[in-house]
Structure 1
Amino acid sequence: MAIQPAATGGQYIDSTGTVRRVRALIAVGHTLIDIAEAANVAIARVQTLAAGYPSLRRTVAERIANAYRALSETPGANTRAKNRARANGWAPPAAWDDDTIDDPQARPEWTGHCGTDRGWWTHRQQDIPVCAACDEAHAQWKAEHNHLPRSEFMTSLSASRASASRRGESIAHDGRELLAQGYTYEHAAERLGITLPYLHHELRRHPVAVDEQEAAA
């Protein structure tokens, strides 16, 4: 009587990670049909998961996970899917850690500094929806600095914004590394977790220095 039955494929489990995977694939341009076909599940099931249905069978979760591994490295081409994800604030695969995506307490890492004021500014500069963690951090930053005289407050604000701006140099460097490995511009942007226009913007803002060109020759 005390022996517990082994988990089976029909067992219902929490859908947190699966919902995140579906939404992440939508965020990079994959349609419900793309995901359903890759996972070999009904389109209606994928649709309910995108809407946030709280539970699902373990077998479905495993199929979606397999589809995620197959599709997450390759951007889709559906603009409507990307717009839907943007409007809902759904994070792309690059913002999730494979080890924590199933943890209900985990938060997506959009910028490399999410949960800080620097992260909030990075969101703004990349023109992507600000995540809750960065919104909270920015609100806290303002509360901690509101006592300053206006001129000092604005100086601190400018310094905080500048700290995020310096990330552009790293983006340009990492982007060129990926391009040199054969990635397309779009795929490099997806790997870095940024928008394609933002990658182009930082590459233009931070051209390769002469000494870097000589070192690479």
Structure 2
Amino acid sequence: MTTAVREAPHHRNLTCYTDYKCRLPECVERFHTWQHTRLRAVADGTWQPFIDATPVRQHLLKLYAAGLTPHRVSVLTGIDWNTVRLYTQAAPRQGRGMIRQTTPETAAKILAIQPEPTLPGRVDPTGTRRRIQALSAIGWPLRELGPHIGIKPDNVRRILKRGQSVYGTTAHAVSDTYNQLRNDHPSKHGVSSIGIARALRNASQHRWAPPKYWDQYPGAIDDPHFEPMYRLTRREIIAQDAHELIRFSGLSRQSAADRLGVSKAYIDHAFRDHPQYAVEAAA
């Protein structure tokens, strides 16, 4: 009977070597360096593997009050967000208590974080949603974007459905992530080919515009009044324009057709193909 080898969730600390039996060269080197440092400190009488986590807890609470999230702290430090969360609250369902002691190295990483510049509490969500959609349009699955942004993966999808606004800190984090990932292929970050294909298919179905489209219209990605025409056919554009003229200007279909330089039959066909824009002219 063989025992399955668990795949390490990441390769940033010693646990992949000690707990998951990872033997990647860089992970082996990380462990040996730590072991050498530990043995030398023991010989010198300065070995202090753990320290009180209270200062870390107090610092995290200040960061949270300033608008940062455990996910954002995870992005900035490289520490798993579940571990970050355990410094301020227990996870009884997982059988894990609140962290009371930590290593000096981990404490230094967290204590080095400073509150980010003050941002408006709530801002217009247009640019935030379009940046997420644009990354999806180049193959980024929505769930994979969460760790990069610094929010829960499920919250990425919620942003696309949310009502009137998003937090300013979230908008700022999404903008940073967009600038960092827009020129990277998702596969370089471990995203599977299946995940990439699904993201591309979903974005295509929703006609989400990629970064290259937004590059053509400086500033438009944040403009809620800019109507992207990405992958729209001429007939659909005519249907949209005719809808506006008939509904808000009170024109007949014939008058709208004259204004748009097409025949009335063309508008009839446009409304037939795109019934969501169909509207009857007033008598």
* Smaller-chain TM-score bracket: 0.3 to 0.5
Q: How does the TM-score come out when normalised to structure 1?
A: 0.48
TM score, norm. by length of structure 2: 0.38
Higher relative contact order (CA closer than 8 Å, sequence separation 6+): 1
User: Which has the larger Rg?
Assistant: 2
